[in-house]
Structure 1
Amino acid sequence: MIGALWTAATGMDAQQTNIDTISNNLANVNTTGFKKTRVNFQDLMYQHIRQPGTPNSQGGQIPVGIEVGHGVKVSATQKIFSPGNIQNTDNPLDILIEGDGFLQVLLPDGTLAYTRDGSLKRDSMGRIVTSDGYPIQPEIYIPEDASSISITSDGTIAVEINGSNQPQQIGQIELARFSNPAGLNSIGRNLFKPTVASGDPIVGTPGSPGFGTIAQGFLEMSNVKVVEEMVNMIAAQRAYEINSKAIQAADEMLRTASQLRR
C-alpha cells in the first residue's frame, strides 16, 4: 500500500506537467507562428515478482508472470510543427512560409535563431527586422524613398523608388530547415535555436527542393486548436483526480491496518 501512494503521486506529478503544457498552448492560441507542445509519457520500472515462463510443479511453464509497476514519468515534451491557420493582413512586410522552413534571425550576441513568425518590420536604418528588432539574415535594407514593396514566392524583394517606374531588387529572403525540427530548443519570443538533436541548419531559397514558398500579406497563426486542448485539459484533470483517489484509497487501507488489534 505504501507503493500505491508513491505510484499515484507520480501520476499526479505527470498530469501537473501535462496541465502546465496545455495551459501554455492555450495562452499562445493567438501567437503568430506558435507551435503547440505535446507531452509524452513513459511507464517507470517494474518489480518482477515472478517471471513468465517459470517452470511449474507439473513440468510445464507458467504462461504469465507477476509484475507491479511503479508509476509514470514525462519522457518528452514534443513540439508539433503542423501548419497553423492563415491570416490575411494586407501588410506588405507580413510573410507566410507555405511549407518547410524558418526565417533566420541575428541575435544581439551574434548567434542565429530561427522563427516561423513572419510579422516583419522596418527599423530606423531601413533594415527588415522582427518585432523585437532582430534583423533577418541575410540583412535586407529598404530605401527611404521606396514607395511600394513586393515579395515574390521565391523570396525576392523588390521596391519601387519614387520617380522610377522600374522595380529595383534589393534582396533575397533565405530559409533554413532542419532534419528534426522537434529537436529545436525554444527560447521564447517565437524563436528557436538548433541543438545536436535537431541537426545543423540547411539553408536554401524559398521554393527550392525541400523548402516552402513565401506569400506576401499573410501570416501563419498558432496551430493550437482550442477544442482539442480543452478536451486534453479535461482528460488531464480527470486523470489527476483519479490518481488522488488512489492515494486516498491507499491511505484508508493503511489506516485500517494501523487500527488492527490482537
Structure 2
Amino acid sequence: MNRTMITAANTMGQLQQQLDVISHNLSNTNTTGYKSRDASFNDMLYQQVNNQVDQGTEKRLTPSGIRQGSGAYLDQTRLNMTQGAFENTDKPLDVAASNPNVYFQVAVNDSEQPVQYTRDGSFHLRPEGPNNVKLVNGSGQDVLGENGQAIIFSNAFKDIQIDGSGTITVTTNTGVDQFTLGLTNVQKPQELEAKGENLFAFPAGMNQPNMFTDLTGKARETAGVDQGKLEQSNVDLSKELTDMSIAQRAYQFNSRSISIADQMMGLVNGIRA
C-alpha cells in the first residue's frame, strides 16, 4: 500500500507540471508569435522483484519476476515551432515573416547570448535623443539591423515602408534613408530554447555550425517579410482544453488511489486475530 501511495504521489507532482505547461499555453493564446509547448511523459525506474522459478513447470516466454513501477515523470517539454496564422493589422511597424524558419534579431542584456531571436514582429519606436527614434520590440529591446546595430532614424519621418527582404525605407523631409532588418534563417528550430518575453536562443555552450544563417544579399529575398501583418500564436485551443481535461482526470485517479490505499491500510490495521 505504501508503494501505491508513493507511486501516485510521484505521478501527481508531474501531472501538476503538465497542467502548468497547458495553463501557460492557454494564457498565451493571443500572444503574437508565441510558440506552444508540449509535455511528454516517461516511466520512472522499475524495481525488479525476482521469484523462484519452478523447474518442474513448463517454461514461460516472459521473464520471471515482477516489475514494480514508481510512477511517471515529465520527460521533456518540447517547443512546437510550427508557424501560426497571419493577421492583418495595417500598421507600418508590424511585420511577419512568411518563411517559417526566419527570425528577427533582438539585442538583450545577456553577456553570453547578447543576440536572441523572435517571430514577434510587433515593433515600436522609442525616442533616442532629441531628434531621433529607435526601433524596439514590445519589451523595449533593440531590434537589430543586418549590421548588428540598432536601427535609429530621424523622428521627422513622413512614411515607413518595409519590403519582402526586410529593407526599411524611411522618408523624411530631407530625403530617404534605408535600413535592413537583421534576419536569421534557423535550420534547426527544434534546438532553440525559450528565453522569455517571446525570445529564443540556442543553449549556451552548444556547438552551432549549420544551425542558423544570418541572411544577407540575395538570400534576404527568401524571408518573405510582410508589412502590416503579425503572426499569431500557434496554440491549438481545442487540443489544450482536451489535454487539460485528460491531465485533470489522471490527477483525480491518482488522488483516488491514495485514498483507497489509505482505506485498505486502515482495514489491515483494524484486523484482530
Q: TM-score range by the shorter chain?
A: 0.7 to 0.9
**Residue 259 of structure 1: aligned partner:** 270
- How far apart are residue 109 of structure 1 and its match? 4.7
Q: Which structure 2 residue ranges, 5 or more long, are not aligned?
A: none
> Which of 117, 120, 123 is the equivalent residue of 2:120?
117
**Residue 145 of structure 1: aligned partner:** 156
**Residue 21 of structure 1: aligned partner:** 21
1:246 matched to 2:257: yes
User: Structure 1 residues 3 and 261 mapped into 2: Cα distance closer, same or farther (>3 Å)?
Assistant: same
1:206–1:213 CA contact under 8 A, matched in 2: no
Stretch of structure 1 that moved more, 60-69 or 86-95: 60-69
- How far apart are residue 19 of structure 1 and its match? 0.9
1:127 matched to 2:130: no
Taking structure 1 as the reference length, what is the TM-score of the superposition? 0.87
Stretch of structure 1 that moved more, 89-98 or 100-109: 100-109
> Which of 156, 161, 172 is the equivalent residue of 1:161?
172
**Number of residue equivalences:** 257
**Residue 46 of structure 2: aligned partner:** 46
1:179–1:199 CA contact under 8 A, matched in 2: no
User: Structure 1 residues 253 and 56 mapped into 2: Cα distance closer, same or farther (>3 Å)?
Assistant: same
Stretch of structure 1 that moved more, 150-159 or 233-242: 150-159
Matches for 1:11-90 after TM superposition, within 5 Å: 11-50=11-50, 57-58=55-56, 61-65=59-63, 66-90=66-90
**Over residues 56-110 of structure 1, what are the superposed CA-to-partner deviations in whole Å (9 max), with x where a residue is unaligned?**
5258642123312111111111111111121110011100021212211112456
* Aligned residue identity for 1:195: P
Q: Which structure 1 residue ranges, 5 or more long, are not aligned?
A: none
Taking structure 2 as the reference length, what is the TM-score of the superposition? 0.84
- SS of 2:238 mapped into structure 1: helix
1:189 matched to 2:197: yes
User: Structure 1 residues 84 and 124 mapped into 2: Cα distance closer, same or farther (>3 Å)?
Assistant: same
**Residue 106 of structure 2: aligned partner:** 105
Matches for 1:209-228 after TM superposition, within 5 Å: 212-228=223-239
User: Structure 1 residues 256 and 180 mapped into 2: Cα distance closer, same or farther (>3 Å)?
Assistant: farther
Aligned partners of 1:48 and 1:247: how far apart in 2?
23
**Over residues 97-125 of structure 1, what are the superposed CA-to-partner deviations in whole Å (9 max), with x where a residue is unaligned?**
21212211112456122211100112213
**Over residues 196-252 of structure 1, what are the superposed CA-to-partner deviations in whole Å (9 max), with x where a residue is unaligned?**
587534322498399642111000111112222111111111010011111111111
Stretch of structure 1 that moved more, 227-236 or 206-215: 206-215
Stretch of structure 1 that moved more, 214-223 or 199-208: 199-208
Aligned partners of 2:152 and 2:190: how far apart in 1?
32
User: Structure 1 residues 70 and 80 mapped into 2: Cα distance closer, same or farther (>3 Å)?
Assistant: same
**Over residues 7-64 of structure 1, what are the superposed CA-to-partner deviations in whole Å (9 max), with x where a residue is unaligned?**
111121111111111111111111111111111111011122249xx97525864212
